[in-house]
Chain A
Amino acid sequence: MNAPLLSINNVSKKFGAVVALENVSLHVGAGEFFALLGPSGCGKTTLMRCIAGFEAPDAGAIALNGVDLSGVPPFRRPVNMMFQSYALFPHLDVFENIAFGLRRQGEAKDAIDTRVEELLAMTQLSNLGRRRIDELSGGQKQRVALARALAPRPKMLLLDEPLGALDRKLREETQFQLKEIQRLTQTSFVIVTHDQDEALALADRIAVMRAGRVEQVAGPMEIYDRPATRFVAGFVGETNFIEGRLVRNSGAALIAEFGRIPCEPGDLPEGAQATLSVRPERIGVEREGEGIAGFVENFVFRGETTLLRVRVAENVVLRAAAGHGERYAIGDSVRLSFPPGAGTLLAEER
C-alpha cells in the first residue's frame, strides 16, 4: 500500500442515542479503490459524510495527506462526492453541471471548456453537453454525476452507492467503466455500498462494517476466503456455518455432529468450541466415496453450478455447489468432501 492519503483515527459519532460510528480507524492509500461495505445502518454513509465534511465526528480525527480536516468546511476540502441521488442541478445543463466545481475554483474559461469536453468524452457524454438534466436517462445522469465530481481533480472521490439506481445489466457495464476511469485518473476512490458483489468486483481493499464498527479490512479475495468474523463470512457471499469441537492432534479438525472436517486450527486450544465457515463451492460433491453422507433435499440450478441443499444430520443442512454436468434429483444420496483449507475457523463473536 502507498503512503496513506486518508487517515481515519478512532472516529466516533452518535446521533442522539444512536451510535453511528464507534472507534473507527482506516487508512486509504493514494490511487486506491477502497470500498466501505455493510448493511444499511452500519455507519458507512455517516463515515463518508464525515470525510466529505457534512458531519463532524464526536471524537477522533480525519486527515488528508497528513493535514487534519477537523473544522474544515466541505467547500474547502479537496475531496468530492458523488451522491446516491446524483444531486444534479436541475436548472443547469450537463455542461454547466460538470463545470460547476471548476467555476468555483475560478479557472480560466478556456481551461474550463477543455476540461469539461475531456470529461464528457471520458464518460461518453459528448454531444449531450447542452441537454437538460431531466432529458437524461438514468445511466447518463450517473455519468454526469461522476464527471461533475471528477472535474475539479479531487485528491479523493467519494461515491455513495454509485450503481444503486441502475438496472442489473447496466450495473455490470458501469462497473468496468468505473474501474477504467479510476485507473485513468489515478484518483483514490472510496465507494460506499451494501452490495457485496459490487465491493468485490471494484475494490482493491474492502472494509466490512457492522453497527458502527469495522469488522475486517482486507483485499476482496482475503475477505471472501478468510473472513475474520462470522458476520463477514455471512455478509459477503454464501457460506455454511458448522459448529463443532476442535481437535489439534493427528491433523487438526473440527468434530461436528455429522463428521470430522479438517481445518487450520489457528491459535484455538484443543477441545475449544468453534465455528467453521465453508463456502458452498469449496465442498466437493460426489455420488459415492469417502465423504460425509447426506441426501439432496432441494436444489437450485444456477447455470454454471447447481446449488444443493444436502441434509447431513437430523437438523443440519449444508449448501454445496455441484459442478456443471451432473444432474441431481431430490432424494439422491451424495457424499460431501472437505479438502484441507476449505473452511475458515471463526473467532468468537464479540
Chain B
Amino acid sequence: MLDFPRWRVWMLNTLIILGVLFAIPSVLPTHIRAQIAQFVPTPTINLGLDLAGGSHILLEADTSQLAETRLEALEDSVRTAMRRADPRIAISDVSRTNGQLSFTVDSPAQVDAAREALLPLTSNATGSRDWNIGVNDGNRMILTPAGTGDETALDQAMDTAKDVIDRRINALGTLEPTIIRQGENRIVVQVPGLDDPEALKALIGKTAKLEFKLVDEQADPDQTAQGKARVGSQVLPYPDNPSGLPYIAVRRLGGISGDKLVKADPTFDSQTNEPAVTIQFDSEGGQKFARMTQQNVNKLFAIVLDGQVISAPQIREPIFGGVSQISGSFTTESANALSISLRSGALPVDLKIVEERSVGPDLGADSIRRGILAAVIGTTAILVLMFLVYGRFGMYANFALVINVAMILGVMAFANATLTLPGIAGFVLTIGAAVDANVLINERIREELKRGRRVVQAIEFGYKEASRAIFDANSTNVIAAVLLFIFGSGPIRGFAVVLMIGIVTSVFTAVTITRMWVSRWVKRTRPHDLTI
C-alpha cells in the first residue's frame, strides 16, 4: 500500500500543479490578472451576485395574454381573407371567447368557400395545423387552437423576447448580462455590478408595443368615464389627458401598429422644448402611416404605448416620409428608455418581474472581505491545531488541505463555475471532510501503534482501515450533492456543485497525496518509532 511507482508520483504531482495553476488567476487582484491575460488564458471563478453585487431578475410571460394576442392576429387575418375572397364573403358576429374565434358566414352557400379561404391561415410553415376549423348550425365557423400551436407560439415568443432583452441591455452600455430561458415561460436576467437596478427593470419590463389609433371623437364623455365605449370603439387609460379625464375612447380599427420602425431616438420638441422621441417607419410602415394621416386630416389620433395613451395630437397635415415625433410628458431619461425599447423591438409577450435579487456592490464587497477574513482565520486555526496534535503527519495533512482548497478553486475556474454564499457553506463542509479524513487516518495509526504494531505496518493499517469510513462518508455526501443538484433551486445548486467538486478533490488530497508523502518519508528514513 505504501508502494508508489515513479509514474504514479509524476501523475499525482502533475495533477496537483494543474489544479493549483488553474486556481491562481482567481486569487490574483484584477489589474494583475488583466496584465497576465494578454499572454495566457486566465480562467476564473465567477462570483455569484450575492457576493459580487448585481441584479438577478426573473421574468415570467403571461401565457394567457399570448393566446389572446394570437387570437387577435387570427381575427385580423380572417377578416382580411374574407374581404379579399372572390366573391367577397360577408361575415358577422365575430367573437373571441374561451380561446376560440367564431363568426357567422352570412350566406350558408359560402361556407365551403370560407373554409377554403381559411385553410392557408390555419396551418403553419411546416405544414402542421395550428387551428382546427369547425362548423356549427350550418354557417357558424369556429376556430380552435390545435395541438401544439400555443406551445410553439410561446416558445418562439420567448426566444424573441430573450433577443429583445439582450438588445435592450446592450444599449445600456458595457454590462455583462447573462440572459437565459428557464422552463417554458421564464427568462432569467443576471447583470453583475449594477448600481441602479431600477433603470434596468424599467427597460426590460416594458413591452414597448406602440400603436397609433384614431380617437373616437363622437364618444360620450360620460360613457367613457364609466369605461363604456360604442360598438367598434374601446376605452383606454390616458393619464395625461388635458381634459382631465384619465380615459379616452379610440376606434378599434383603422389604426396602425408601430412595430415596423427602423429608428427611434430621443430628441427635444422643437416648439415646447420638452423631451420627445422621434421614430422612423420602414417603407411599408411609412406608406401605411402616410395613408392613415392622409385620410384623417384634422382628426385626433392617439399614440398608444402598452395599452396606455401617451398623447393624442391632431393630424394637421398628411405625414409622408415615415418620420414622426412622439411627445408626452417625458423626462430625458424616460425618452431615452423609450427609444431604446422601441429600437430593440416590442416584446412579443408581456413579461412580469416575479423575482428580483439585487445586491449593492458595497454589501457584496463587505460580504467577501469579512468572509475571506473569517475563512483565513478559521483555516489557520485548523492548520495550527492539526500540527499541534499530529506533528509531522499533521503537516502533511495541512499541505494537503491547502492544495485541496487550491484544487477546488482550480476545478471551479476550469469549469467556469460560480461561487455563491451557499457555495461557501459547501466549501466549509468539504474542508471539514478533508480534515476529517486525515484525522481518521492519523487516529487509526495512533491506535494501531498503541496495539503494538510496527511503524510501517501501523501506517499501512491506518490508511487501509480508515479508507472504509472515508469512502462511506464521502459516498453519502456525493449522493446528497447529486440529489440537491437535481431537486434544488439556484442557490442550493451552487452548494451542490462545490460539494461535488470538493468531495473528489478532498479524497484525492487527503488520502492519496498524503499517502504519497508519507510513503516517501518512510522509504527515506525507515523510522523505528513514530510520534503521532
Partners in one complex: no
Residues of A that sit less than 8 Å from B by CB: none
